[in-house]
C-alpha cells in the first residue's frame, strides 16, 4: 500500500473519530479551507459550501440525537491529488454506505465531499439494473 493510500486512510479514520467523539473543532479541521466542499447526509438535500456543511456538522455533533458510528469495509482510491473512500457506516439504527472525497493540500488530505445513504439488506435480491452506454 502506498504512502498516499495510508495517509488517506488516516484522514478517513480521523473523520470518523471526530464524528464518534462529537468533536466539532476536529471535524472543521478535517475539511478543506481552499477547495469547494459539499455534503449529503442521509435524507437531506445536498449542502454546498463550507458555511452550510460546517453548520450541518455542528448541528449533528452537538445535537442530542448524534448517532454512534463505526466505519467498516473501507476501500481507498487515489487519483493524483484527489482520492475517494468507499465504506460502510455502522449505526445503532442500521447501516449506511458512504463515499468520502479528499484532496491533497499543503497540510495533508482534506475532505471535500461526504455522501452517505441507505443500503439494501443483504437478503434483498433486487439489484438495480445495469446500464450500458452505447
Domain harbouring 86, CATH code: 3.10.450.50
Q: Tens digit of pLDDT for each residue in 79-94?
A: 999 999 999 999 988 8
Yes or no: say if 57 and 131 are a contact pair by the CB < 8 Å rule: no
With 70 as the cut, is the pLDDT of residue 111 above it?
yes
State the chain's mean pLDDT as an integer. Answer: 90
Lowest mean pLDDT: which of 3-7, 70-74, 117-121, 125-129? Answer: 125-129
pLDDT of residue 65: 78
Q: Tens digit of pLDDT for each residue in 15-67?
A: 999 999 999 999 999 999 999 999 999 999 999 999 999 999 999 999 887 78
Using alpha carbons, select from 92, 115, 109 the residue that is nearest to residue 39: 115
Q: What is the CA radius of gyration of the chain?
A: 15
Q: What is the domain range of residue 13?
A: 3-118
Number of domains in the chain: 1
Residue at 62 is within a domain:
yes
Yes or no: say if 85 and 104 are a contact pair by the CB < 8 Å rule: no
Paired sense of beta strands 82-91 and 38-40, if any:
unpaired
Residue at 125 is within a domain:
no
Yes or no: say if 14 and 30 are a contact pair by the CB < 8 Å rule: yes
Amino acid at each position: 500500500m502506498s504512502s498516499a493510500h495510508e495517509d488517506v486512510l488516516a484522514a478517513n479514520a480521523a473523520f470518523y473519530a471526530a464524528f464518534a467523539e462529537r468533536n466539532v473543532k476536529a471535524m472543521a479541521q478535517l475539511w478543506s479551507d481552499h477547495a469547494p466542499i459539499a455534503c449529503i447526509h442521509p435524507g437531506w438535500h445536498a449542502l454546498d459550501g463550507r458555511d452550510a456543511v460546517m453548520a450541518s456538522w455542528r448541528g449533528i455533533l452537538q445535537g442530542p440525537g448524534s448517532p454512534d458510528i463505526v466505519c467498516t469495509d473501507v476501500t481507498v482510491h487515489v487519483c493524483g491529488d484527489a482520492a475517494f473512500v468507499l465504506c460502510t457506516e455502522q449505526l445503532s439504527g442500521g447501516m449506511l454506505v458512504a463515499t468520502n472525497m479528499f484532496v491533497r493540500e499543503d497540510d495533508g488530505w482534506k475532505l471535500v465531499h461526504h455522501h452517505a445513504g441507505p443500503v439494501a439488506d443483504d437478503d434483498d435480491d433486487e439489484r438495480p439494473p445495469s446500464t450500458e452506454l452505447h
